Amino acid sequence: MYLFSSISFVVLFLILWTGTIAIKLDNDDVSLNTSDSVDVLQFLPCLSNVTTDEDIPELKIEFSSEHVEHEYIVIFDNYYSSKSRYNYIKAAIKKYPQVVTWSILKRDNPATHYPSDFDVLKLVNDDDKSWLDLLLDHPAVKRVTPQRKVIRALKTVHETDVTDEDEDLQAIKGKPCLEGCWSQNWRSSRPLKRTSLALSTSGFWHGNNRHSSRRLLRALPRQITGALHADVLWNLGYSGKGVKVAVFDTGLAENHPHFKKVKERTNWTNEKTLNDGLGHGTFVAGVISSNKECLGFAPDADLFIFRVFTNNQVSYTSWFLDAFNYAILKKINVLNLSIGGPDFMDHPFVDKVWELTANNVIMVSAIGNDGPLYGTLNNPADQMDVIGVGGINFEDSIAKFSSRGMTTWELPGGYGRVKPDIVTYGSAVRGSGLKSGCRTLSGTSVASPVVAGAVTLLASAVIEKGNVLNPASMKQALMASARRLPTANIFEQGMGKLDLVRAHQILSNYKPQASLSPSYIDFTECPYMWPYCSQPIYHGGMPSVVNVTILNGMGVSGRIIDKPVWHPYTPQNGNYIEVAISHSSLLWPWSGFLAVSLTVSKDAAGWGGIAQGRITLTVESPPQNGEDAPRRSHLKLPIKVKIVPTPPRSRRILWDQYHNLRYPPGYFPRDNLRMKNDPLDWNGDHIHTNFKDMYVHLRNAGFFVEVLGKPFTCFDAKQYGTLLIADAEEEYFPEEITKLRRDVENGLSVMVLADWYNVSVMKKVKFYDENTRQWWMPDTGGSNIPALNDLLAPLGMAFSDNVYEGMYSIGDHQTHFASGTSIAKFPSDGLIIGRSLKNQGHEVLTGETKTQDDVPILGLHQQNPTSGRVVLYGDSNCVDSSHLQKECFWLLEMLLQYTSFSNLPIDLSDESTISLPPSGQLPERMEGNHLHRYSKVLDSHLGEPKPRPLPACPHLAWAKGEPLNISAPSNLYQHQKLLSVMDAGPMVVKQPNVQQRSGIAIERVDDWELPPGMSHSNQLDNSNAYPLIAFFSTVLVLVFFFVHVHKRKTRPKRRKGPRLKRFTRLQERFYGKFPSV
């Protein structure tokens, strides 16, 4: 022990003497290193300007969106001068028979003197919208949309704030609401309280669960660049030089000490300043390009600051459009956009993002702070051509605030894409302060500049290679090199955690090609492939759809030539899989989709096991840089599924997705009126988004849940035990109503979970519509009760237009009825359960609290022993994770025992039925509603909306397999990691030929983890270290001998025992020792 202590002391002294300190916290995550060429004090910024880890406030960034009255954005089909644009608008509007007073808003910004593709039109009176048709008829006008106003709110959340539980309790209890408090203000991020990662404020040492799990807690790194090993690339001579990076945010001070290469600061707001009055823009720019104190990734990059938000955190769509055009003119390479919202149908904005990436701008955007709810992705990060970034903490766990996939563009008929693309540190990250020093922020708007800085640094390493660098190739390198987190699924982490060093290795050896994301489909790999792995497939089930993104690094445009081919692996039962494939006709910009539908052949109706195959396809792009032949890339998509025998009918639930509507495009209000921070129903109402928790509970209970994305006329009711209709906003075709009645008579059970509907309440929760630029009344309530009543009328059932809330119990269980409706009409021989609840509708309209007894909220009925069973319940909030306050999965399981197995649980059978009051007039549709504009059922012609003709049921074209008599790869992940991007060769060390950069504190990593197949010998030049190593070795040997000799001299002499007689020793040898008495 003494020897070990002595050697340790000497080694520590020698290491300190050489000026090198290395603290390794994990094999690939957090490192803090200094060398004798680095001022150690630079790692300890001025404390007067720093928020210490002991008092880190959490900042959440929220967005509100509204529209500016009487202002419209006119989008042209090309770039024109201001005079030409004026003449086009004038020529179109003068055809209008009435006098229209209009003007073009002057835009005073750096893009004013350049041609533009839009103008902002202001009208004095725009009540009559017929002039819009004249404007749209002009051949040079592409689109006319309302001017949007965006407000971003930065809110500091301290630990003394109300907790999630307190907030939920307040919402459940509710308070009388005064006039005006029910109107809507859109907030894309719900309130989210988080504690600091610092131990002193996290409450870890005082928590009840302190010893529930023992694990190594990582310290917060002082430098985010050190956590991601940016110094490895710095030591190779790369620091962002030659790369133009744009920061769209709140501006930057002129002489901020952290930045040395600010090429241009531009102001796109109506304030006459370029400076940052909030600090968010400074922080983002610092993470990307700071060269002092809290270091950025690319200190030598050319920084372009776009001030698009005012000090009041306000922006307009037109400001962004002008700034985007200017970024294209300036040939920006990387653009960071730490904003987002749910409106992927904001056409001017979305179209301009496409144009940006088509012009070779690599856009990095935050995925959103609406986690942990699924289906909460923000635009533009949810676009295929944009690098969407999620957030993790320094424990390598997905941050609670980070939004989750899937995308909801494709609903209800299809299935969403995988997003985020990658994740990185976004919790408690240090960046530049407003004037100097450092501060700490959290959010995906922090993770986004981390990736943007890394992208800028990577771009500087390959920018001289010409056509290697583009939005697709950078995204391919980041995703192929990402490190998978073991406990997170694909909709939480995308391809995994950013790995800067491995991304550089891949990008340095990159050859233009196409790739797939995900690169394989494996229904057996959990938890990563959730939800695909959560349920096996079987014959007769609705096809499982996987929406794969095609990234095309060969060119901005491309196409799939011929048809993708399905190859079942014969030895691995691939012939049992049936595959249908659809894809983008054009891959632009840089990307497209490949939708794969999977089901089981009839031959495997009673078979169970693993089946495998692969899809092959070829992507082609036009030749580049004088090439004669088109570029082609041959891709393979391995598929592995688990097949089970077809489950019994009673275990199969059919989820009605077709009749769910959501924002965008229309205003469909929230289901819980108490939740005022999130007025829009925008999560898709899918079993893998806001109904995820319900889906997981049903799977754990042994049910199989399938999704119906088409009308009721397109499914075989004999295959299913229960049709589950929840939170439906869509109308119904008359043919659907007729078929459902017939299906119930033939044994199909139906469960309907409704929500509030009241025309007077709908007028209270008005919202400023983005399309008509008028205050809208919702087209429906939480559910479309008049449409549901039409569906249920043949069964003698209906819901009312009363709105109720309150806590209640059934048996030993308790739940919350949140803004639900009651039953107005039900068969007399059915079971009707009532409870005492508050009349929330009365409160909304009068401000007074009123309680009502025996409110009929649950009804159960079976017409005859051979018919199906029908259940009506007036609220879906208790199974909807969007605003889940008190779940009622126990009630859902009870009701499924009744609908699927005709088993009425004791807790329900013990209930006494109540009598319904005389049914009055049933709820009617709001006069003048605009539901027909967004409905798949209603015709939008003038006059009273009527149902469209029933569409034909969609039929998939099943691919004819070309069998392969070879064995499939056993590990698709490892197999595809090698095939995803060309095998990278060794990292070439580039000795910097520039002088020491002043003011840049470069962290040195002495023990970073190298990618597979690489060693330190071919990475760094260690020739100068050999004499030092020899000296250390000599000293250690001398110390060892010195300690050994010293211990022998000071060791006390051992006393010798008395000699044994020879006979006694011989006796012991043959007979052993005798026991003494």
Measured distance CA(332)–CA(319) in Å, rounded: 17
DSSP 8-class letter at 97: S
Other Cβ atoms within 10 Å of 541 Cβ, number:
21
Catalytic one of 189, 445, 519, 900: 445
d(CA 634, CA 82): 47
Q: Which residues pair with 980 in a beta bridge?
A: none
Residue 153: φ, ψ to 5° = -115, 125
Contact 354, 365 (CB under 8 A): no
Q: Largest Cα–Cα distance of the chain, in whole Å?
A: 136
Contacts of 976 (CB under 8 A, 6+ apart): 519, 520, 638
- Distance CA(767)–CA(777), nearest Å, equals 7
**In whole angstroms, what is the distance from residue 319 CA to residue 323 CA?**
6
β-strand 749-753 against 722-726: which pairing, if any?
Answer: parallel
Q: How far apart are CA 299 and CA 292, in angstroms?
A: 9
- Which one-letter DSSP state was computed for residue 398? B
**Closest alpha carbon to 489 in 450, 522, 453, 513:** 522
Burial 514-524 (b: 16+ CB within 10 A, else e): bbbbbbbbbbe
Residue 722 and residue 899 in contact, taking contact as beta carbons nearer than 8 Å? yes
Give the Cα separation of 228 and 425 in Å (integer): 9
Is residue 360 left, alpha or beta, with left meaning phi > 0 and alpha meaning psi from -120 to 50?
left
Tokens of 930: 């605009």
Residues 727, 731, 737, 739: is their CA dihedral positive or negative? negative
Q: Quick one: DSSP state of residue 195?
A: -
Residues 217, 25: Cα–Cα separation, whole Å? 9
State the catalytic residue, choosing from 29, 53, 119, 249. 249
Helix%, strand%, coil% for the chain, nearest 5: 25, 25, 50
The number of C-alpha atoms within 13 Å of 99 and in the hemisphere containing its C-beta is 2
Output DSSP code: residue 518: S
What residues contact 198, with CB distance under 8 A and at least 6 apart?
53, 54, 56, 220, 428
Looking up tokens 């020491």 gives 996
The reply to whether 280 belongs to the active site is yes
604 DSSP assignment: G
Identity (one letter) of the amino acid at 496? G
> Cα dihedral angle (807, 809, 810, 811), rounded to 10 degrees?
160
Q: CA 1010 from chain center: how many Å? A: 29
DSSP track, 921-969: PPP-PPTT--GGGT-SSB--SSSS--BPPPPPPP---BPPP--B-SPPP
Strands 362-366 and 804-810, sheet pairing = unpaired
Assess whether 249 carries a catalytic annotation.
yes
DSSP-derived pairing of the beta strands 302-307 and 262-267: parallel
What are the structure tokens assigned to 488, written together?
């997170």
SS3 letters for 131-161?
Answer: HHHHHHHCCCEEEEEEEEEEEEEEEEECCCC
Report the run of H or E that residue 763 belongs to, with start and end: helix 759-764
End-to-end C-alpha distance for the chain, whole angstroms? 41
Question: What DSSP line would sit under 446-494, residue for residue?
Answer: HHHHHHHHHHHHHHHHHGGGSTT-SHHHHHHHHHHHPBPPTT--HHHHT
Q: Is the bond leading into 1058 cis (omega within 30 degrees of zero)?
A: no
Of the residues 67, 229, 280, 688, only one is catalytic, namely 280
Q: Which residues are the active-site residues?
A: 249, 280, 445
